[in-house]
Amino acid sequence: MIQSKKIPIVVTVFILLSAVVTSVHLQANTIISGEELFKTPYYTVPQISPDGKFVIGKVDDGEKRELVITDVNAKKRYPVIFFAKRNYLRNFYWIDSDSIYIEYISGKKNKNSIVNVDVNNLAVKQPAQQISAEGYLLSSLPEVENQVLFARRLSEDDLEIYQIATSDLVNGNFASAQKFESHLKDAFFYSYNDQNSAFFGLKFDKDENAFSIWFLAPNKKTWRLLYDSDNLSFQLKPIQYLSDNKFLVLTNQITERMSVAVFDLVSQKVEKIVYEDPKHDIISAEADDESGELISVTFLQHGEQEVLYFKQELADIENYYMDAEDDDPAYTVDTSADGTRSIVLAYGASHPGTYILFDEKTQSTQLIEHQYPSLIEHEFAKTRRIEMELASGETQEGFLTLPYLNGNGTLLIMLEAGSTASDKMTEFSPSVQYLASRGYAILRLDYQSPVEFIESDTDTYNVRMNTLLESDINELVEYVKQRFNYDKACPIGYGYGGYSALRMSMLYQQNYQCVISLFGIYDLQLLFSANNAEALKLNQQAIKELLQNQNASFVEKAPVYLAKGFNKPVLMVAGENDDVAIPEQFNRMSYVLERQIDDLENYIYSDVGHGFERWFQELQFHAVIDDFLRRHLSLAPLEEISDNEVAAEEYVVISDMFAFDTLTENKASKSFEYLVKASRLGHPRAMFNHGAHFHRGDLVSRNFTKAMELYQKASEVGYASASYRVAEFLSRGTEVDQDLPKAYEYYLLADQQGHDARAGLKAARYVCKGEVVERDVDLCKRLFDIKKIRKDNLKNRQIKVDENSKKLWRSLFPDLMLASGNTTEQQAFYKRLLYEEFEIVDVKAQFELVEEGIFTNAGLTGHKKTTDQIPMTPGVKFGVRFRLNKQADSTENSAIIVQIFRTTEKQQKAVIRQRIEQKSGRQFRQDWYIDKELSSAEAVPSLYEIQIYNLDAELLYSKTFNVGSFI
Amino acid sequence: MQSTKLTDNLSNLSIPNAAWLFIGSLILFLLSGCQQTLNQPAPQYVRSIHPDNVQTLQEGHGYLLMAVTTNLNIRSLFINGPINIALKQADLESGTNYILVPLPQGQYNISEISMYFGNYSFDKNDYWNFEVMGDTISYIGDLQTEFQGKYNTTISYELRNRSSYALEFLENKYPTLLKSKTVVYSGFGEDRFLEFMTQKSKANTDSGSDEPLEHSSK
């Protein structure tokens, strides 16, 4: 996907580069909110056009996602294509300097498009043309102008490869395309290396339920078998041909997740793991063809693709760079065809990433975009490497991030299996920065998992127990605590790190004040006995020997069996669907700790596997971690070190975690506890929900006065739902005294605050009629024009028009149309809306009565008696049948307005039905029928008056029916 | 999870043939159920013991503890060993059912699930074997079954080790029995959690702190 070429670097260039990067770092001693940190980067995966004039990149602002193109020379940016929420962008890249290939999933379908970029007129919408042929692009063939390599799918397991002109591909014209002859029989998937022109092919044998992976080496004509297996329990995906026998692959064969590895053809084994991410499956990778060094890996971060770059082309100036105020390494992301222009990513442990264009010819740099523009005003904590010689003579390395403000004397030790030393120095970690900005120091280690699956063959694993390193880690922790004067320490473990975090705290209880474990493994025995399907994958003989040799110590080593005498606060979280740290691991540890310690906080997330799958879950649980630490280590509450807004937001986030089925167990009272905290700090939604608790009497005594106070406070700080609710109370006058002018103001306020269209529509009812407030035709038109509101919402996401809004809008129509004093402008406005929404036109017609009185059935044939005296019998139907004779022979739709009033002894005349009745043009001449059927409750002496109006509010018919001889 | 289809290989056949094969398969499975009853001693129908009706265990007997989690009511579950037993629907309803039954000690295997629309035989291999130990509660795992497909004819099944949940079940429902018996994991693989926990718990009990006080004869 990404072209990388070595570019000569001149030191002076990086003075410029450094200036670009450092200029965005402002000092701002404030806590960074979790919302700013735990989110998808705003700008990612930029790629430069072959001619170096344009950069295309993905923008995601949380609401909308789009591809944008930057005109490098003009320094301007233009949108190229929007992606709706249901569409998932898989891939995009330049085919040539004026066309971009885009691959995305819409619903469940894979779609390919080509955008032909009008480079002379980027301000206009660039048309995307869908590729009609089934298949996918194998390569943009950078060396061949206007030609691509396309895998055309003829059937499920029949693919053909073509070199085809871009224009022919768009038109589905394969006649002139060049078919690749050395195809792999029955292949259902191909991939291709641009770097060395090697092919990979995948075959699946349905009968044997086995797949095989084949390769076609550069300049060869015979496909060779790379790997076959009838065991589908693990995956192996070839990425790159490195040499005759070596391949870069993605596999989960011997690691917890899909990792980048070198696979050896001869031994048929994974030779070494090149990159393993502790939290993500790698979905793609690229290595240097000559050196084999990793250039980049791609993984899914909470549903979106993210790329990590490794190729430090700028290494020769890194010393200079490191000495500068910003010590971020920089990576080449993409290079123009002639190698003179490159996109460089300046990114590091304390820098969330900035894409810069470097022009070698002019020796200049230009900012393209920050990955997180909203973070540029923040200062980030720096990470330093520390090393110490242990008592054993071994050297232990650690990476320490110290807080730059709010230091609270607490050291957190992060244990994540699979993470490497370089990760800690080079990767921007939202988690580390979140905690550091709240005053914690974070110590990370090159942590080795306590158990490894090794020496795999086709269908089994062997297992190796690593010497546990808790004593070494503890020694380093003690050193750091003394050296930097920390009096409190808590380990945070992730996966196997949870095992070590708990174990270390149990073994060295006096050194740790609490433990946090996420998705932890606590009893290694369970790896071999979790179920009788998983266990099949393991080499049973090897495990038996292992257990026989190490049985006693093996069991004793696990935290589940070490808890005796342990009593420190523990926070644990698990995923309901975790198939690595299965729920039994969590429950087993919880079972032991519940009987042993005073403070256990343990939660299982619903619909979560081995790790959080959404950003908000990360945010949520980090807020929980901070809160847990503050409570148990007697640290200052968050609101004392941050502004109330940040603290309140995080309390709400915690409150939400305990509600809304986020956890398998709903903890309503806990949720309420945090809601109250947030409410007291003035959080708008929290105050509203707090009010709702008083309103309902839920977890507190019912108290409408308090509810109203909180609703009003929430309204004052801009919470639209609160304003709407207050308006409703004032409008209906049951909970509080009716005050329609005030209700109008609150409806209007709710509308301004972004409530759905109902608030504006209800305000429109007053302002259009001019009853409660002065008539304002302009405002009336703005509030009631639902089509415009909907259109504006699509564009700017201002006021949502949902089904309830539409229903309300329809119900308000007759009332507004029949209001006295409507201006001509208003009448025309209402008619226009009717036409826009229902294609109803104002057809002039003459009313002709057919029948009125009692009817046996609804419809045209059931007339029983012409009368206005109706018996007081439940089920009796009365009404009117009539015709409307159009003046012209129009086939257009038209409508009438119907109102029915009722008067009883207890209730004065009131509208009980008010609606627009419409008919299509063809049905217009047929009989119309308006009726009322008495229910049991309505079978009392009463008067019913039916009124029928045309769209000019002219009364066509009026009739009063006397039920039960009311008069 | 492993899965078995009643209608294996149907996808390549035309619909009428597939229908015939489906019926054939059904009959075959039903016959296999009959065959079992012809060649082996007829199973004894047993029910999970009620918490209020725990009786003294006979010499040479132990308890089998398992759970069955299913998305459909299961008609019967057959287990073969020193005696052949069958659990019935009352203990195998949709949801999770814990089952505790006294059995002669010895080697057993889960052999078959019977539904109203067909029978499913388990492979005769180690994965479905277990031992009931004398004077002990042998927990063999949670049998998780899920019936899928248009006619529920595909079944996925596995035996999951959920020892800690089983222990909590025993503590809630059979606290007295738990005090007097050791609980061991007897399912696939090796796991000493239950042994460790119940021995520890019994060691605490042996201190006498939980012994009931005697009432005055008056």
- Residues B20-67: tens digit of each pLDDT: 333 333 333 333 444 444 456 788 899 999 998 888 899 999 999 999
Q: Which of B158, B165, B190 sits opposite A532 (nearest CB)?
A: B158
For residue A570, the distance in angstroms to the closest alpha carbon of chain B comes to 19
What per-residue confidence (pLDDT) applies to A289?
A: 72
Higher per-residue confidence, B201 vs B85: B85
State yes or no: pLDDT of B70 exceeds 90.
yes
- B30: tokens are 């039903």
Q: Tell me if A626 sits within 8 A of A438, measured CB to CB.
A: yes
Rounded Cα–Cα distance for residues A53 and A55 (Å): 7
- Cβ distance A531 to B197 less than 8 Å, yes or no, reads no
d(CA A200, CA A454): 26
Q: Which among A525, A531, A584 is the nearest to B159, CB-wise?
A: A531
Q: Which of A1-5, A353-357, A944-948 has the lowest mean pLDDT?
A: A1-5
In chain B, residues with a C-beta closer than 8 Å to the C-beta of A531 are 141, 158-161, 188
Average pLDDT over residues A605-618: 91
A596 min Cα distance to partner chain B (Å): 12
Asked if B189 and A592 come within 8 Å (Cβ–Cβ), the reply is no
pLDDT level of residue A427 (50, 70, 90 thresholds): confident
Statement: residue A672 has pLDDT above 90? yes
The confidence score (pLDDT) of residue B202 equals 58
Mean pLDDT value of segment A478-504: 92
| Upper half-sphere CA count for residue A814 (Cβ side, 13 Å) | 21
Give the residue among A84, A129, A132, A81 at the shortest CA–CA distance from A105: A84
**Per-residue b or e along A633-654, where b marks 16 or more CB atoms closer than 10 Å to that residue's CB:** bebeebbebbeeebbbbbbbbb
Nearest C-alpha of chain B: how many angstroms from A418?
A: 26
Asked if pLDDT for residue A459 goes beyond 70, the answer is no
**What confidence tier does B204 reach under pLDDT thresholds 50, 70, 90?**
low
Chain B residue whose CA is closest to A562: B196
Nearest to A525 by CA among A593, A584, A608, A606: A584
Model confidence band, residue A552 (pLDDT cutoffs 50, 70, 90): low
Looking up tokens 């050296």 gives: A483
Q: Name every chain A residue with its beta carbon within 8 A of the beta carbon of B196.
A: 555, 561
The answer to whether the CB atoms of B188 and A560 lie below 8 A apart is: no
Smallest Cα distance from A872 to chain B, Å: 53
Cβ <8 Å between A529 and B167: no
A536 to chain B, any CB pair closer than 8 A? The answer is yes
Distance from CA of A524 to the nearest CA of B (A): 9
SS3 A475: helix
- Chain A residues in contact with B109 by the CB 8 A cut-off are none
- Chain B closest CA to A525's CA: distance in Å? 6
- Taking the C-alpha atoms of residue A13 and residue A11, their distance in angstroms, rounded to an integer, is 5
Q: Quickly list DSSP for A806-826.
A: HHHHHHHHHHHHT-TT--HHH
Q: Do the Cβ atoms of B196 and A555 come within 8 Å?
A: yes
pLDDT score recorded for residue A150:
92
* Closest residue to B188, CB basis, from A535, A582, A591: A535
Q: Name the residue in chain B with its Cα closest to that of A584.
A: B162
Q: Count CB atoms within 10 A of the CB of residue A695.
A: 21
pLDDT at A543: 52
Dump pLDDT digits (tens) for A501-526: 999 999 999 999 999 999 999 998 88
A494 CA to centre of own chain? 23
Query: Has residue B15 got a pLDDT over 60?
Result: no
- A596 versus A143: which is more confidently predicted? A596
Q: Which of B187, B191, B197 sits opposite A525 (nearest CB)?
A: B191
**Percentage, residues of chain A above pLDDT 90:** 40
Mean pLDDT of A457-483: 70
Nearest to A166 by CA among A150, A182, A153: A150
Best-predicted range by mean pLDDT (A114-118, A427-431, A621-625, B55-59): A621-625
- Angle at which helix A757-769 crosses helix A720-732, to 10 degrees, equals 40
Residue of chain B minimizing CA distance to A595:
B201
- Most A CBs within 10 A among B9, B11, B128, B190, hence the mutation to make, goes to B190
Tokens of A659: 């509600």
Q: Give the mean model confidence (pLDDT) for residues B176-188.
A: 92
Using the beta-carbon criterion (under 8 Å), do A584 and B185 form an inter-chain contact? no
Which residue has better confidence, A83 or B211?
A83
Q: What is the pLDDT of residue A25?
A: 40
Tell me if A530 and B164 make a contact (CB, 8 A cut-off): no
Tell me if chain A has a CB within 8 Å of the CB of B161. yes
Mean pLDDT rounded to a whole number for chain A:
83
Out of B160, B190, B196, closest to residue A561 by CB? B196
How many contacts (CB atoms, under 8 Å) link A and B? 71
Residue B206 forms contact with A (CB below 8 Å)? no
Tell me whether residue A231 is exposed, middle or buried, using C-beta atoms within 10 angstroms of its C-beta: 0 to 12, 13 to 18, 19 or more: middle
Our CA-based measurement puts residue A464 at a distance from the nearest CA of chain B, in whole angstroms, of: 17
pTM to 2 decimal places: 0.80
Question: What is the model's pLDDT at position A316?
Answer: 39
Give the tokens for residue B174.
């059979």
pLDDT in tens, A700-719: 999 999 999 999 999 999 99
Q: Which of A144-158, A254-268, A293-307 has the lowest mean pLDDT?
A: A293-307
Q: Chain B residues with CB inside 8 Å of A523's CB?
A: 193
A760-784: average pLDDT: 93
Q: A929 in contact with B at a CB cutoff of 8 Å? A: no
Beta strand B44-46 pairing with B61-70:
unpaired
Q: Higher-confidence residue: A260 or A5? A: A260
Is A615 strand, coil or helix?
helix
Report the gap between the CA of A184 and the closest CA in chain B (Å): 24
Question: Which residue, among A235, A233, A215, has the nearest Cα to A223 in the 3D structure?
Answer: A215
Structure tokens given for A265:
């053809």
Got the DSSP string for A829-896? Answer: HHHHHHHHHH-B----EEEEEEEEEEESSSSSS-EEE--SEE---TT-EEEEEEEEEESS---SBEEE
Count of alpha carbons within 13 Å of B34, Cβ hemisphere only?
Answer: 6
Q: In this predicted structure, what is the pLDDT of residue A419?
A: 56
Q: A523 — contact with chain B (CB < 8 Å)?
A: yes
Residues of B in contact with A555 (CB under 8 A): 192, 196
Rounded to the nearest 10 degrees, the angle between the axes of helix A496-507 and helix A470-483 is 70
User: Could you give the count of Cα atoms lying within 13 Å of A957 in the half-sphere of its Cβ?
Assistant: 25
pLDDT of the residue at A12: 35
| DSSP code string of B100-115 | EEEEESEEEEEEEEEE
E-strand spans in A466-536? Answer: 488-494, 515-518
Asked whether A530 and B161 are in contact (CB, 8 A), the reply is yes
Task: Answer yes or no: is pLDDT of A319 > 50.
Answer: no
Residue A791 half-sphere exposure toward CB, CA atoms < 13 A: 7
pLDDT of residue B159: 92
Q: For residue A591, give the nearest of B1, B159, B168 by CB distance.
A: B168
Helices (H) and strands (E) in chain A, counts: 23, 46
Q: Which of residues 133-152 of B touch A (CB under 8 A)?
A: 141
Say yes or no: B163 contacts chain A, CB-CB below 8 A. Answer: yes
**Distance to chain B for A739, nearest Cα, Å:** 54
Interface contact B186, partner A, CB < 8 A: no
More confident residue, A209 or A245: A245
